[in-house]
Chain A
Amino acid sequence: MIELISQSRCINCDICVEVCPTNVFDPVPGEAPVIARQSDCQTCFLCEAYCPVDAMFVAAEAHEHVEVNEEDLIAKGLLGAYRRNLGWNKGNSPEIRMNEMRELQRKVGAPF
């Protein structure tokens, strides 16, 4: 479930409020949105993928709340990791990721 909106990173763009399919967030004028309905979170990771400044962390635990620590997540390279893996971060693109994939496919064959 969504566990973190980094107050220091968030630029209050409200993109997460707009894209969350289950309407988990409420906007707050001039501030970071709040996680208003955490139990409605379906753990789809898409707010995290859309956040332009890697301010969000959706934990893999879908059925229970877990504590997370921002510094710890940063140290482990986990903030924004899904966005990078999709090729959605700056300087990257899905095409680049797909080309890497084709390169590897040529080497080891299509997995199925």
Chain B
Amino acid sequence: MNKLNEPGLEINADVLVIGGGPAASWAALAAAERGAKVVIADKGYLGASGAFAASTSGAKVIPPIKELRDPVKFERYALGGHLAQHSWWDRLLDVTFEKAPKIYEWGGYETPPYNTNGRPAYRGLQGCETMRIMRKQVKKAGVQILDHSPALELLVDDEGAVSGARGFQRQENRPWTVKAAAVVMASGGCAWLSKALGCNTNTGDGLLMAVEAGGELSSMEFSAHYVPAPKHSSVTKSAYYRFASFYDESGKVLDGLTKNGHRSTSAIAKELLKGKVYVTLNQNGADNPDMQKLLRLQQPNFMNAFDKIGVDPFTEKWEITLLLEGTVRGVGGIRIANKDCGTTVPGLFAAGDAATRELNCGGFTGGAGPNMTWAIGSGNIAGWAAADHARSLGQKATERNVRGVGRTGLVSSTETDATYDANAVVKGVQEEIFPLDKNIFRTEKGLLDSLAKLNQLWSEVQKNPVQGTAQELQRSREAVGLVAAARWAYFAGLERKETRGMHKRLDYPQLDPNQRHYLAVGGLDKLWTRPVPVPEAVVPQPAKEEVAVHA
């Protein structure tokens, strides 16, 4: 039985975009710009869905001036283990500089003035406002939007080329099928349902769908991105911890939790493994009432965590935790195999957090712009290429014989009628992937123990999914994506026997120059990894005086 076989909505298009965040919206606009007929299917509502709409992030909008762009390229180059590629940065910065300002124009806003440092003073346009404008623009471009329509599997033709997708319209209670010449996967990262801000729509579905279609992933070992949040809340906004004093339960100040003005996640994690940690934002000028007003205006979502419970974050102490953002501000995702954001499967392109971000971030990302630059850049590049691919296929595209390749968590087996409990599976995955001592501080033994449990969960989900309601259909499939993503992350983590980027191995604490490569990872029942060379030699850091220190 498969709920997707019920009668439903059927559409033919040139390009299908899966997702509804910035990467997907830009891809849809870029494909439409090249004359393609585009459909975009989002799990949630294009405008409110995804990490960006809820959290707000800035991109690197930098004019093509070497002195301004070099600091961006070098900012986290060493931190990312020299796995980023400067040639990719150049392309992404070009696209972002051309495209990002259009949001202001479309929204009827005054274009931001340039700062004295030569960079546009983009600040303050919130994610939800930006996505409201993007939605309007996507509609205006003639793109057909399917909201509340999670994609559940890819379609492939007889040659194995991706030729569309199927999913379910959860508010219409019917399946959808879109046959398309090309598909852009922009379904966001995977935060394992941690409730990190805006991230619960992002359950790694795209990774699973891509691998089922014959694709592969990369940099999944760099997926342990944790962010502090007020303990009661979802608010994983990280920028203001540069104003933080940290305290233990007795009120003693904890030193060393920030490095060069930035929080140190592993130092915070070590303290949290010992006991409770509290914060007050009272350093670096945050005791100035005007600065407090400014900080309130700049991040109204951050303030929700405090205003709603009547706590003043600038004078009172509040307890923090670390929430897992996974690949959302980590790195891993679908492997990009060419300059067009194409994958290893013909007809499938990837963009944003669904794709690996190793090309501009190497083994470490974090906040402050590189991710949004990747989302805007890769979204546009993938959208253009998908439209071109559709044109090259022409009429042939819709005449192809296609079949769905989704399996685990979607299609019931004929051998048993036993079902699995999706919520219990999700909890089981979270028990392996959330704990700081398992995911941040990695050892061979710890990874093997976790993988053994995750493999048991993988066996469990070979039973039948419960598909009584649209919600159950979706959750059953999501549970499979979460197990699969955790297995890929830890399997790659086991293989990388060194400490590099955000991958920390207690048993291999040094960076090993011989492991300066990417790790492709894939497989469903049986996992595999393969080193992939970085095509660029390490670019030497320019002399100090050439690079302005970047705050």
Contacts and interface: CB of A to CB of B under 8 A. Distances in A.
Nearest to A104: B294
A91 B80 CA distance: 46
B471 A50 contact: no
B68 interface: no
- How many chain B residues sit at the interface, stated as a range, is 35 or more
B232 A63 contact: yes
A95 B124 CA distance: 9
Contact of A62 (B195, B239, B551): B195
Contacts of B47: 19
Nearest to B43: A21
A58 B44 CA distance: 18
A19 to B, nearest CB: 4
Nearest to A84: B300
Contacts of B195: 42-43, 62-63
A92 interface: no
B310 A86 contact: no
Nearest to A85: B300
A35 interface: no
Interface in A49-102: 49-50, 58-63, 76, 78, 81-82, 85-86, 88, 94-95, 97-98, 100-102
B308 to A, nearest CB: 4
B297 A101 contact: yes
B44 A98 contact: no
Contact of B45 (A20, A60, A82): A20
B232 A49 contact: no
Interface string A1-40: 0000000000000000111111100000000000001001
Interface stretch (B196-204, B331-339, B458-466, B541-549): B196-204
Contact of B285 (A46, A101, A108): A108
Contacts of A95: 109-110
B65 interface: no
Interface of B: 43-45, 47-50, 53-54, 109-110, 121, 123-126, 128-129, 147-148, 170-171, 195, 197-201, 230, 232-235, 239, 242-243, 285, 288, 290-291, 293-298, 300-301, 303-310, 471, 551
Contacts of B148: 23
A59 B309 CA distance: 8
A21 B131 CA distance: 13
Interface of A: 17-23, 37, 40, 42-46, 49-50, 58-63, 76, 78, 81-82, 85-86, 88, 94-95, 97-98, 100-102, 104-105, 107-108, 110-112
A78 B291 contact: no
Contact of B288 (A50, A85, A108): A108
Contacts of B110: 95
Nearest to A76: B310
A81 to B, nearest CB: 6
Nearest to B54: A44
A98 B294 CA distance: 10
B471 A23 contact: yes
Contact of B293 (A23, A45, A62, A104): A104
A44 B48 contact: yes
Contact of B44 (A22, A88, A104, A112): A22
Contact of A21 (B44, B123, B124, B239): B44
Contacts of B242: 112
Contacts of A59: 308
Contacts of B243: 111
Contact of B123 (A17, A49, A101, A107): A101
A108 to B, nearest CB: 5
Closest 3 pairs (CB-CB, A-B): A21-B44, A85-B300, A42-B200
A45 B300 CA distance: 11
25 contacts: A21-B53, A21-B198, A42-B195, A43-B233, A44-B54, A44-B198, A44-B234, A58-B304, A60-B308, A63-B195, A78-B307, A86-B126, A88-B129, A94-B124, A95-B110, A97-B124, A102-B124, A104-B294, A104-B297, A107-B290, A108-B288, A108-B291, A111-B291, A111-B294, A112-B551
Contacts of B235: 60
> Residue among A60, A85, A86, A95 with the most chain B CB within 10 A?
A60
Given A44-B54, A82-B301, A108-B291, 16 more contacts: A20-B48, A21-B50, A21-B53, A21-B198, A22-B44, A37-B471, A40-B200, A45-B301, A46-B128, A59-B308, A60-B306, A81-B307, A81-B308, A85-B297, A104-B294, A105-B294
Given A21-B45, A104-B294, A44 B171 contact: no
Contacts of A63: 195, 232
A110 B295 CA distance: 10
B45 A45 contact: no
A25 B367 CA distance: 31
A111 B110 CA distance: 22
Contacts of B49: 21
B233 A61 contact: yes
Contacts of B296: 85
A44 B43 CA distance: 15
A39 B448 CA distance: 32
Contacts of A58: 304, 308
Nearest to B115: A110
Given A49-B128, A61-B233, A101-B123, A85 B303 contact: yes
A50 B50 CA distance: 16
Contacts of A82: 300-301, 304
A101 B471 CA distance: 42
B290 A104 contact: yes
A94 B125 contact: yes
B304 A45 contact: yes
Nearest to A83: B300
